[in-house]
Structure 1
Amino acid sequence: MKDIKHYINGQYVGSVSGKLFDNVNPANGKLISKVHEAGRDEVDAAVKAAKAALRGPWGRMTLEERTSILHRVADGINARFDEFLEAECLDTGKPKSMASHIDIPRGAANFKVFADMIKNVPTESFEMPTPDGTGALNYAVRRPKGVIGVISPWNLPLLLMTWKVGPALACGNTVVVKPSEETPTTTALLGEVMKEAGVPDGVYNVVHGFGGDSAGAFLTEHPQVDGFTFTGETGTGEVIMKAAAKGIRDISLELGGKNAGLVFADCDMDKAIEGTMRSAFANCGQVCLGTERVYVERSIFDEFVGRLKEAAEGLKIGPPDDAEANLGPLVSLKHREKVLSYYQKAVDDGATVVTGGGVPEMPEDLAGGAWVEPTIWTGLPEDSAVITDEIFGPCVHLCPFDTEEEAIELANSLPYGLASAIWSENITRAHRVAGQVEAGIIWVNSWFLRDLRTPFGGSKQSGIGREGGVHSLEFYTEMKNICVKL
């Protein structure tokens, strides 16, 4: 077991304070590694290295040189695919079958996609008359925003971290990344790939630690960081907004949600069951886009409940190396305490537990893991905390509705608006409902179909700004207009 250190200015360095924290495998509760916790000194060094790198070779590179390096970063991740896969699954406990098809391939693709995209971003130019008759030419150029503070989550650690770092670097910025304390390993490992790919020192920096009075707070308070991008809980987003307000720094926030699924009687039942099962239980329910509340038209409600119960009970719970497992543990025992508190709250509020609701029996070598059962409820009132709060576990509440208008009202009843899934074979109705549901991402007869060119983000308290495609590039650049008198 080796310590996980910060990656600052091209070197792995420990903390001056010597403070360490445990990185624990959620599948068995055993120690994976010790992680250095950053203080103000390490964060300051990382930010200063990032600032200096803007004025170094990175800042002077041509677009072709920079994007070529990012392609090498992607190739480097793929060349060490198994190493990244092992690290990600140790940190998260998720099945390798999932991480090998989603997390690691997308982690690499995020560099190539945005490296290619930045080459083809349209710009603007305008000719204008002048009093002397010679005219003038206005043209707009994009320039890097500067040092970007990246605070990434634990549910899809490599994927969501590179979803931010890829476009930030493609645009010519430098970054200081603070990964979740629960999942530090792949972010640290990426430093080796950056070095091998020829990324100049100081362009990619990593500091480990927690939020308040630790690396997260020290990073958001640092006056030389030019912008912040964060994925996580709404409450933490509010704290980052307050910190960014000092100095008027830009922010991009992808925050919490309590996403609704709407299932109409004219749906393809097989597709709706399969899609709802994935949206409720994929990654053990730890997906920001998942649906924890699903409203089903009353005429098919009983059938839907029965079939989803059967599907949930067919899931195989197991550790990452179990090739048949499709449901791993939660990310930590602390998070399991939160999820189980909602399982109990559901019972206290009068829910019918259709299936699950507890902790599964596991073999002795896995008994220390953060395991919970996939759970389905019915019968809760709409003001129950189980309906209103983001739980972030493998659970879903099913409720009947009678009219299209009622379904829309229920979907829009909370102060969140990240995503929704609508199931109906009537494309006219699906289109009409999609336009009225207050969410940034709407799927019709599907879930988690993702094109990286499309806008990604939430409305209301689910976020500020959009990521994906040109929208990422807009956040990571500043537009500059140049007017030339002819």
Structure 2
Amino acid sequence: MEFSTTSQTTISPHNQQGLVTKQYPSESELDGSIERAAKAQKAWSKVPLKERIAIGNKFMDEFQKMSDELPLELTLQMGRPVSQGAGEIRGFLDRARYMLSIAEKSLADVGLEDTDKPGFKRFIRRTPLGVVLVVAPWNFPYLVSINSVLPAIVSGNAVLFKPSPQTPLTAERIALALTRAGVPEDVIQVLHLSPPLVEHAIKHTLVDFVSFTGSVAGGQAVEKAAVEASGFKGVALELGGKDPAYVRPDADLDYTAAELVDGAFFNSGQSCCAVERIYVHKDVYDAFVPKFVEIVKQYKLGDPTKPETNLGPVVSIASAKRIRKQVEDAIKAGAKPLVPEETFSSADVKTSGESAYVAPQVLVDVNHSMEVMMEETFGPVVGIQKVSSDEEAVKLMNDSPYGLTASVWTNAEKNADSQEAFLNLIDELQTGTVFLNRCDFLDPALAWTGVKNSGRGISLSKFGYDQLTRAKSVHMKIKTS
């Protein structure tokens, strides 16, 4: 990305060429957008819920009409292989479909049994917050945006949609499908904003809630601006991760190795819930590691616009340099790399210097004194550490400033004791989601949330609607004599 005081330019990671430039509004123009959103929201909230849901279903149809154009457009913006773009579109539609399917029940009045209070009627109504600012990331721009944008609109809010400057076209696609479906233009507005303008929007008195997905530093800046604003503004923060996996001694190693490689290296490891550290029981460590490495070596790193590529560049040269340094520092501290870099270097792909291509790497002989095991990498790198027990694994999994997801791999199907062992670990793990025999996955029926530096707030599930509305209690005295 390149920035000036008045505009931003998206740089394609694979060729470092400018793709699209977006102009920033002035502060007064931004204020006008917010004011129009607040006015439009009042009318939109009066549209019956069933009609808003019907518009949401039509939105899915309108978005589907664009789907063939989206994978390459997304690849050019952020570098993920074009062969994997259709998966994000399917996931986007699946999440939208589920959230629409539960909207009526999730947003219905909550009635109370009044048998103990004759002559009274009481209920709790879910009412929209007002104007919601959604600040979206670049790594899964469709998947993450839908978590907040559609539920907010269906709930009766207006949305100011600020995409990442790396993926500005994604927000415009979503907004276009929404307006074609019948959402008023002022209810969904795409805003390309500089950091000072984002701060200005957060502090605006007509912005009622902020949903932010991004880095810990970015989340801290959002929280600070919200605290400095007048009133008490709600904030949801979905931040980083350093997600662990634990391979127990009875795990199916072939299955587990393949799943964990995908969980670590899909999207070049650029996922908040990517597997970044793996703890393997000593009884199977020597068997597991070679299986894992062999699968990694089969990846094809290259031009993401080519269909045969399944590993593309990371988002920027700066990101690539940061990732390489983390690996280099770990090696200097005693870690052992198991994947020769030359395996992935070619005339077309440079994995060093001024390049956004990073060769995948597996590190062993790692420990928690190394940054690679403690701080988010957000790249195609994973550390594997040997452990001697469930207790040691849990202690190391929890020894992290982050807590988004964690996964345990064990033969729960054939071994009842293994399932019981997993169930016993759930309450011990300090994390928002616990997986058994899967990872790097988001089920829209489950609440997506984190602990510690992975943030606070909830998206998806019924609880996602709760976050985007406020409870209004209604207490009626029917009989007055």
Normalization by structure 2: what TM-score? 0.91
Matched, 1:117 2:102: yes
The structure 1 segments of at least 4 consecutive aligned residues displaced by more than 6 Å after TM superposition are 365-368
1:157-216 per-residue CA deviation (whole Å, 9 max, x = no partner) reads 1111121101111111111111111111111232322232221121111111343x2x32
Match among 292, 308, 317 for residue 308 of structure 1: 292
Moved more, 83-92 or 173-182: 83-92
Q: Which structure 2 residues correspond to residues 21-420 of structure 1 after superposition, within 5 A?
A: 21-56=8-43, 58-101=44-87, 103-121=88-106, 123-126=109-112, 128=114, 135-211=119-195, 213=196, 215-245=197-227, 246=229, 247-356=231-340, 360-364=344-348, 370-420=356-406
Q: Which residue of the partner structure matches residue 414 of structure 2?
A: none
Given residue 389 of structure 1, which amino acid in structure 2 is its aligned partner? Answer: E
Out of 474, 477, 480, the residue aligned to residue 485 of structure 1 is 477
Q: Is contact 1:140-1:479 (8 Å) kept?
A: yes
- Is the 1:180–1:209 contact (alpha carbons within 8 Å) kept by the matching residues of 2? no
How far apart are 1:356 and its partner, in Å? 4.6
- CA apart distance, 1:287: 0.9
Match of 1:474 among 466, 471, 477: 466
Whole-angstrom distance in 2 between the partners of 1:111 and 1:148: 18
What are the Cα deviations for residues 269-316 of structure 1, in whole angstroms up to 9, with x where unaligned? 011101110111011000111111111111211221111111110111
1:230 and 1:440, CA in 2 relative to 1: closer, same or farther beyond 3 A?
A: same
CA contact (8 A) 1:114 1:170 kept: no
Within 1, Cα distance between the matches of 2:342 and 2:334? 16
2: distance between equivalents of 1:362 and 1:219?
Answer: 46
* Residue identity (%): 28
Asked whether the 8 Å contact 1:356–1:376 carries over to 2, the reply is no
Letter of the structure 2 residue corresponding to residue 243 of structure 1: A
Cα separation, 1, equivalents of 2:9 and 2:398: 41
CA distance in 1 between counterparts of 2:383 and 2:341 reads 12
Residues 359 and 209 of structure 1, relative CA distance in 2, 3 Å threshold: farther
CA distance in 2, matches of 1:146, 1:208: 21
Aligned length: 464
SS at match of 2:63: helix
Q: Distance in 1 between matches of 2:355 and 2:62?
A: 32
Shift of 1:435: 2.7
Render the CA deviation track for 1:344-401: whole Å, top value 9, x for unaligned. Answer: 2222222111115589435549897511101111112312111111010010001100
Quick check: 1:129–1:135 contact (8 Å CA) kept in 2?
A: no
What is the CA–CA distance in structure 2 between the aligned matches of 1:460 and 1:147, rounded to whole Å?
27
Cα distance change on mapping 1:358 and 1:234 into 2, 3 Å: farther
Q: Show CA shifts across 1:5-57 (max 9, x none).
A: xxxxxxxxxxxx9922221111211111112134423432221121011123x
- Residue by residue over 1:61-103, the C-alpha shift from the partner in whole angstroms, topping out at 9 and shown as x without a partner, is 11121111111111111101122222211111111222102x1
SS in 2 for 1:201: coil
Instruction: Kindly indicate whether the alpha-carbon contact (under 8 Å) linking 1:375 and 1:396 is maintained by their aligned counterparts in 2.
Output: yes
What residue in structure 2 maps to residue 5 of structure 1? none
8 A Cα contact 1:77 1:84, kept in partner: no
Structure 1 pair 438–47 and aligned structure 2 pair: CA distance change class (3 A): same
1:129 Cα deviation from its structure 2 partner: 7.8
CA distance in 2, matches of 1:127, 1:360: 65
Partner of 1:444: 436
Structure 2: segments with no counterpart, 5+ residues = 412-417
CA pair 127-420 structure 1, distance change in 2 beyond 3 A: closer
User: Would the aligned equivalents of 1:441 and 1:457 in 2 still touch at CA under 8 Å?
Assistant: yes
SS of corresponding position for 1:80: helix
Of 456, 463, 485, which aligns to 2:448? 456
Retained in 2: the 8 A contact 1:28–1:365? Answer: no
User: Deviation of residue 449 (structure 1)?
Assistant: 4.0
Q: Is the 8 A contact 2:62 2:177 kept in 1?
A: yes
TM, length-normalised to structure 1: 0.90
> Gaps spanning 5+ residues in structure 1: where?
1-16
Q: Is the 8 A contact 1:359 1:372 kept in 2?
A: no
Distance 1:146 1:366, change over 3 A: farther
**Equivalent position of 2:426 in the other structure:** 434
Q: Secondary structure at the match of 1:306?
A: helix
Q: Report the CA distance between 1:320 and its aligned residue.
A: 3.0
C-alpha contact 1:27 1:366 (8 A) present in aligned 2: no
Per the alignment, do residues 358 and 29 of structure 1 end up closer, same or farther by CA in structure 2, a change over 3 Å counting? farther
**Matches of 2:331 and 2:383 in 1, distance apart?**
12
Partner AA of 1:266 in structure 2:
D
